[in-house]
Every structure is written in C-alpha cells, then in structure tokens.
Amino acid sequence: MSLHIVCPHCHATNRVPQERLDASPQCGACHLALFTAQPIELTESSFNRHISHNDIPALVDFWAPWCGPCKMMTPIFAKAATILEPKIRLVKINTEEQQALAARYNIRSIPTLSLFKGGQEIARQAGAMSEQDLVLL
C-alpha cells in the first residue's frame, strides 16, 4: 500500500510504499528527504496542503515567539520529531504570522497542540507538555 507524503521542502505530494517510510524516502520533485526528523514551519497555504494531502497524521504546534511556555516547548517538540517521524509529521504554526489560520482553528491559548488525520482535527491539548507526555500523546 502506498501513502501520500507531502514534501517539507517543495510541498509536492509523493507516493511512498508504506514499507519504505523508514528507508529515508526522497521527494520525486526536488530529490530532498521527505522526513527531516525536525518540525517544519508552515504558512496557511502550505498548511492546507500538508493537512489535506498527507496520509500520515500531523501534530501541529500553534505557538508565538513572545510566549514563554512556547519557547520551553521548542526543544521538546524538536526532540519528539526525531522519535515520531515518519509515523507522524510534526508542524509548527507561528500564530503571530498566521493569524487567519489560528482564528480558523479557534486557537485561544498557546502553545496548543492539535493532531490532524485525514484533513480533520482529531485531538487538541493546550499548554506546555513534557517530552514523555508529548510522545505518548
């Protein structure tokens, strides 16, 4: 079975056999790695593509640069990417730069972590989390 994976670099959609997810697949368009073991920063347009075209779940960190708990979560979220990819794509959305996106998802406090699958939000957790809690989420 092949999965659709959106490239974190050029945002092209790739078909990758499920059994090859752990084999460092590369994008057919830009030839860069489909998984970088680090969260990817997205804009509203690239967010829509990643959420609606990826067959793997996406864990989204809604954050802002002035937020103390968000700064505390940054290294934890980065570490989680090394553990959770390629099973889950980790995404960061700067709510200061992407205000319309934050409003669309009714983000009232930050950090807020949202889990998306099949284009739909399926879980949400507000507030900073430990690495252990984040990986078990």
* Average pLDDT rounded to a whole number, residues 20-33: 95
Q: What is the DSSP letter of 29?
A: T
Sequence spans of domains, the chain? 35-136
Per-residue pLDDT tens over the stretch 101-117: 999 999 999 999 999 99
Are residues 50 and 80 in contact, defined by beta-carbon separation less than 8 angstroms?
Answer: no
Q: Which CATH number fits domain 35-136: 3.40.50.2300, 3.30.470.30, 3.40.50.620, 3.40.30.10?
A: 3.40.30.10
* Percent of the chain whose pLDDT exceeds 90: 90
Q: Is 67 an active-site residue?
A: yes
Q: What is the DSSP letter of 111?
A: S
Choice among 7, 27, 30, 70 that is catalytic: 70
This prediction has a pTM of 0.93
pLDDT of 136 above 80: no
Per-residue pLDDT tens over the stretch 46-78: 999 999 999 999 999 999 999 999 999 999 999
